[in-house]
Structure 1
Amino acid sequence: MEAPVPEPVSVSTRPSAHSSGLAHFNAWHREQAEDALLECCGSTRWAQRVAAHRPYPDLDTLLAASDEAGYDLAPADLAEALAWESAPCLHHDAPRAAHLALRAAHAAYESRFGHVFVISLDGLRPSQHVDQVLAAIRTRLAHDPDEERALTAEEMRRLARGRIIELVTEAGRASGPFPPVAYDPR
């Protein structure tokens, strides 16, 4: 049996929010870009490095630079970034039992590893978040500290990527060369 032939994809010639947002991001003063990037990842060194390599020709290049800077984070840089983070939480309408279970899981994780639990939930429906977070904490509590540090760094890179995409999209919606003011991942 032959594999189905994919449908042709139409490409819009209109500038996307990403391309116009990237143009705004590239035009910001260094300090503005660094401040906005600190909202994506709380490491000063990471934010300075990503901001210093502007202008970026496209979003993929910016995301690759973010990843590269993330791979080069020293333990102190990762600790600084983690200090900016807050644990993933539930919508206030979630059942009380779910809030209590999540709070207990976070406390166990922080007690074991000495920092907040981070996880990228990009691509998951909000209804899946609590189950994903609880399962991940359960699994990750069994890791040794070095294994967990590596996984935490990877999750921070994934979080930064998602936040950069959001930052660039918001910058594309804003008028003027200033960073959006309403974005706060914590």
Structure 2
Amino acid sequence: MAMDLTTLNNSSNEDAAHAFMQCCVSERWVERMVNSRPFADIEALNSAADSNWKNLDDADYLQAFEGHPMIGDVSTLRAKYANTKELASGEQSSVNQATEDVIQALAAGNKAYFEKNGFIFIVCATGKSAAEMLALLEARLPNDSATEIVNAAEEQRKITRIRIEKML
């Protein structure tokens, strides 16, 4: 849903909410973004996106995380990392073909992370290989859930910014 800033600023609240929901599914963040319009320029939009993301409740962050598909089984991971060109609409376009060992380890790590924290592993995958993703997952797995909500929220913020850029 590509649009320009003028169209976004002049859209109905419903249409603007729909556009922002494509970037992040936290209802409170979307509401804040709709109410922050009009934006003078892209920098103002990005600044609002960041400031509206800050100080949300953990429940709002968890709602945003639910907008991501869970990647846990080996066949899903094989499919995800098989193609290096158009994964997640370019969000993971630099991912290298993963070895079977890396795929198996990612599957196990994602499952362990979800079981420990109650939400999926969130990372901004842009420009990261499957091996890099595994290293990040393994580095964050020992953290407690409170720390991981903060880490995942920051990764979600990065993902949302990329999606905003794609939207415009």
* Same fold per superposition (TM over 0.5): yes
In structure 1, the partner of 2:18 is 35
Structure 2 counterparts to residues 61-76 of structure 1, below 5 A: 61-76=44-59
Offset, 1:100: 2.6
Which of residues 106, 113, 125 is equivalent to 2:117?
113
CA-to-aligned-CA distance 1:111-167 (integer Å, 9 cap, x gap): 111101111123x1xxx4212210110000011222111111111111111111111
TM-score, normalization by structure 1: 0.71
Structure 2 counterparts to residues 97-136 of structure 1, below 5 A: 97-122=101-126, 124=127, 128-136=128-136
Which of residues 26, 42, 47 is equivalent to 1:59?
42
Structure 2 counterparts to residues 19-34 of structure 1, below 5 A: 21-34=4-17
Distance 2:158 2:43 in 1: 14
Identity between Structure 1 and Structure 2 (%)? 28
CA-to-aligned-CA distance 1:31-81 (integer Å, 9 cap, x gap): 111112112111011001111111101111111111111112111111111
Q: Secondary structure at the match of 1:49?
A: helix
Larger radius of gyration: 1
Which of residues 91, 103, 106 is equivalent to 2:81?
91
CA contact (8 A) 2:81 2:130 kept: no
Please give the root-mean-square deviation of Cα atoms over the aligned residues, in Å: 2.0
CA contact (8 A) 1:140 1:148 kept: yes
Unaligned ranges ≥5, structure 1: 1-17, 169-186
In structure 2, the partner of 1:178 is none
Distance 2:36 2:13 in 1: 10
Distance 2:81 2:14 in 1: 33
Unaligned ranges ≥5, structure 2: 72-76, 84-96
* Matched letter for residue 129 of structure 1: S
CA contact (8 A) 2:23 2:160 kept: yes
TM-score, normalization by structure 2: 0.78
* Matched letter for residue 78 of structure 1: Y
CA contact (8 A) 2:9 2:39 kept: yes
